[in-house]
Amino acid sequence: MRSVYQLEISLKDVSPRVWRSVLIPGDFTLAQVQEALLTAMGWEGCHLYSFSIENSTYVEDTYDWPEASIDPGAVRLGDLVAPGDEFEFHYDFGDGWEHRIIVTDRLPTAGRIRPTCIAGQGACPPEDVGGPWGYANFLRAIADPQHDRHAELLEWCGGRFDAQAFEVQEVDRVFARLHSASA
């Protein structure tokens, strides 16, 4: 019987807290898990990524990485983790976004399954904002009309940004749309 893994993803070193709880099929490769994590968090997916699981590094571009790195398209989530395990997902090596992932459960399932977002909190920081340090500065600047970069950064992010905003139903609609298109 197929199984689905419940993962809790927390973006490290940011305030307010940004986290998601998702269900991911155990037969997904880490490359597919990466796509689901990016969708759940709200990242655009235009940067390199890696996973650190136990003592192994999984990275899509193994050409520039140490010989010990493994192609994430070659391994499946269910072969690597179990409930209670923790691992890391790194996104955008320049900004240095680090995500802590806890495997909270493994559930049996029958039939076709897709990623599902079941809970979360906080807006994903804007792409290319400068990592946790840059994000903190960004939030201070847009909150203070007297800040010298207030208008510039508001324009850069599209006119407004609510760090508390998150809608689980919206993320799940994106998952449904992505996976109905690939069916």
d(CA 119, CA 146): 36
pLDDT digits (tens, 9 = 90+) for 134-182: 999 999 999 999 999 999 999 999 999 999 999 999 998 898 888 776 6
Q: What is the pLDDT of residue 181?
A: 62
Q: What is the pLDDT of residue 129?
A: 96
Least confident of 30-39, 69-78, 141-150: 69-78
Cα angle vertex 43, ends 39, 48, to 5°? 105
Q: What is the mean pLDDT of residues 75-101?
A: 96
pLDDT digits (tens, 9 = 90+) for 41-58: 999 988 989 999 998 889
CATH of segment(s) 2-124+169-181: 3.10.290.30
Number of Cβ atoms within 10 Å of the Cβ of 112: 9
pLDDT at 92 over 60: yes
Q: Residue 111, exposed/middle/buried by CB under 10 A (0-12, 13-18, 19+)?
A: exposed
Q: What is the mean pLDDT of residues 78-84?
A: 96
Beta bridge partners of 51: 58, 89
Contact 121, 19 (CB under 8 A): yes
User: Whole-prediction pTM value?
Assistant: 0.91
pLDDT digits (tens, 9 = 90+) for 98-132: 999 999 999 988 776 889 999 999 999 999 999 99
pLDDT at 183 over 80: no
pLDDT at 62 over 60: no
H or E element that contains 173: helix 168-181
Of 95, 107, 69, whose CA–CA distance to 11 is shortest?
95
